[in-house]
A and B are shown apart, each in its own frame.
Chain A
Amino acid sequence: MSVLVVVECAEGEVKKSSLEVATYGAKVAAMLGTTATAVAVGEAKAENLAKLGEQGITKVLYDAEPRLKDFVNNAYTKLIATAAGQEGAKVIILANSNIGAAVGSRLSVRLKASLATNVVELPKIDGSNFMVRRGAFSGKAFAEVSLGGDCKIIAVKKNSLEAQHDAGKTAEVVAFVAQLTDADFADAPQQVVMQDQAGGILLPEADRVVSGGRGMKGPENWHLIEDLAKALHAATACSKPVSDVDWRPHHEHVGQTGITVSPNLYIACGISGAIQHLAGVNSSKVIVVINKDPEAPFFKAADYGIVGDVFDVLPKLTAAVKALG
């Protein structure tokens, strides 16, 4: 009975969030006195999969079927269910991503498993009692959830724990054939369109985010946000009204009705801090607010703040980061 970890890959690399998931899985395996096996999805490369040993994975199952490069819900579900069957896995760990959570919900029905998404901590296991802590109420609270049944599936929120790196340890990469058929790829995408990401950093995966609100006055001023983001190796984001008026694309909109981010550092520039915006960012580790209004509600949710004009402050910050070298 091993723990099965689903690792997402893109362009040959294991995604950073999946390194966290692998670490989580290895820790759960240690709690249960067993080992953690990974199954790779997406465009993987065997040599990078072997490096999952650093996160505590002992074995990686890899099906080289080329159509698995893009997300296909049915095919991924069957692949993982087959791997779980082969490994006798009773605990399955995925990333709480648009892929992981979507597959997790199908798997839970297929495997008659209980499911918790948006999980933010390692489980508490006491005999048959299996508890996880998950985010609820759009980041405004947590719920301690007890997972029933024989099989459990956990989708781990990004940045909930740090990926472990035991240099030199390798995992055995094992060819795996899930016997996928054309029917399993019936809901395959016709086309996949990737966005141009600022500096190649995906917002949902980013460790640092620089975000702009209406206080930025217009899209022509966004170079100030982009310059700081570039210097910090950060992704860029925005508030809802900014994407509503098309100053920025919709996929940058964070908040209750946008995407939720939990980076180590979130820098809010000219954003008032409405409750719906905070819902998408308040699990960030460190929040910095730059706003000319000392009464802006965002300061109440911030760790560091500068009361000042973004047009004056942002260039200073960028210069200071560059000076760090």
Chain B
Amino acid sequence: MKFLVCISNVPDTTTKIAFTPDNKEFNKAGVQFVINPWDEYALTRAIELKEAAGSGTVTVLNVGQADTEPNIRKALAIGADDAIRVDAVPQDAYFVAEQIAAIAKEGAYDVILMGKESIDYNGFQVHGMVGEMLGIPTIAPAQKLDMAGNTATLEREIEGGKEIVQVNTPFVASCQQPMCEPRIPNMRGIMTARTKPLKVVPAVGEPARTTVAEFALPPKKQGVKLIDAENAGELIHLLRSEAKVI
């Protein structure tokens, strides 16, 4: 089984979001970048399934510039076998999906996994686009993934419940908890990651279809209005008469 795991490079979850003075770009100054937390589920699950089968390979793929390589090495340290970096700025979901689809096709991968969305762009788009480009099913968001031979059984989260879906390879799934417990690299992994292959390839396909014209921060809250605990019922009256939400 050949697994392709797509990872994106995102600001750490505790990052205070700020933009360049013209509001056109995210301000990277002093920000630590991590593997997108949702992608960690995809990566760990692929490694677990490969180990359980006793054969197969896990390739990580990132669309990004050279500054993403520390996180690609981290994915190799966690247990991926090799890596591919498409050397380009990930302009939009469509552009990224084109890169993934091209590599998935060329490498004839059986299972293409990624996180349900990136925590910076929050698109929830790439997996569906890749599936459509390749003409194969996408299961998104998947909270459980098991494999028996070429058949996968997945749990897909829907509003208010879940679906049990069975598909044959090849397929795309976007992952979320509680699929597995994401692994962290150990010392041996970090040592071996240094010599694992990381191939850099140029981008292909058409340009992006969407462009970000500007970023904005949400308006600041007015400040909290405190109600005395002794008089807690007053809150309910304020929610009705002032905030008008009940």
Contact = CB atoms under 8 A, between A and B. Distances in A.
B157 interface: yes
B243 A303 contact: yes
B13 A275 contact: yes
Given A189-B156, A190-B166, A305-B226, A102 B128 contact: yes
B158 interface: yes
A288 B120 contact: no
B64 to A, nearest CB: 17
A73 B128 CA distance: 9
A306 B226 contact: yes
Interface in A284-308: 285-286, 288-289, 299-308
Nearest to A8: B159
Interface stretch (B66-74, B186-194, B217-225): B217-225
A305 B224 CA distance: 6
A302 B224 contact: yes
B209 to A, nearest CB: 4
A201 to B, nearest CB: 9
A70 interface: yes
Contacts of B156: 98, 189
Interface in B187-243: 208-218, 221-222, 224-229, 232-233, 235-240, 243
Interface string A131-143: 1011111111111
Interface in B154-170: 156-167
Interface size class of B (residues with CB under 8 A): 35 or more
Contact of B218 (A101, A147, A282): A282
B89 interface: no
Interface in B85-125: 93-94, 97, 119-125
Contacts of B122: 117-118, 134-138
Contacts of B131: 73, 106
Nearest to B131: A106
Interface size class of A (residues with CB under 8 A): 35 or more
B157 A98 contact: yes
Interface in A74-133: 74, 77, 96-99, 101-106, 108-110, 113-118, 131, 133
Given A141-B216, A317-B233, A73 B137 contact: yes
A177 interface: no
A295 to B, nearest CB: 12
A47 interface: no
A255 B166 CA distance: 29
A256 B37 CA distance: 9
A175 interface: no
A313 B236 CA distance: 12
B239 A105 contact: no
Contacts of A147: 209-210
A148 interface: yes
B133 to A, nearest CB: 6
A169 interface: no
Contact of B224 (A96, A116, A194, A304): A304
Given A202-B159, A302-B221, A320-B233, A276 B210 contact: no
Contact of B246 (A71, A145, A208): A208
A110 B226 contact: no
Contact of B217 (A141, A317, A319): A141
A303 B224 contact: yes
Nearest to B143: A250
A264 interface: yes
Nearest to A202: B160
A197 B132 contact: no
B79 interface: no
A191 B153 CA distance: 11
A166 interface: no
Most chain A Cβ neighbours within 10 Å, of B37, B178, B232: B232
Given A145-B212, A193-B161, A317 B235 contact: yes
B17 interface: yes
A135 B101 CA distance: 26
A220 interface: no
B75 interface: no
Contacts of A106: 128-129, 131-132, 138
Interface in A177-205: 186-195, 197, 202-205
B143 A101 contact: no
Contacts of B14: 275-276
24 contacts: A77-B132, A96-B124, A99-B158, A102-B140, A104-B128, A105-B132, A116-B210, A133-B216, A137-B122, A140-B17, A141-B17, A142-B215, A148-B210, A187-B165, A190-B163, A192-B162, A197-B160, A202-B159, A202-B160, A251-B157, A300-B224, A302-B221, A306-B227, A306-B235
Closest 9 CB pairs of A and B: A105-B128, A308-B229, A320-B233, A189-B163, A194-B161, A320-B236, A109-B132, A114-B209, A316-B232
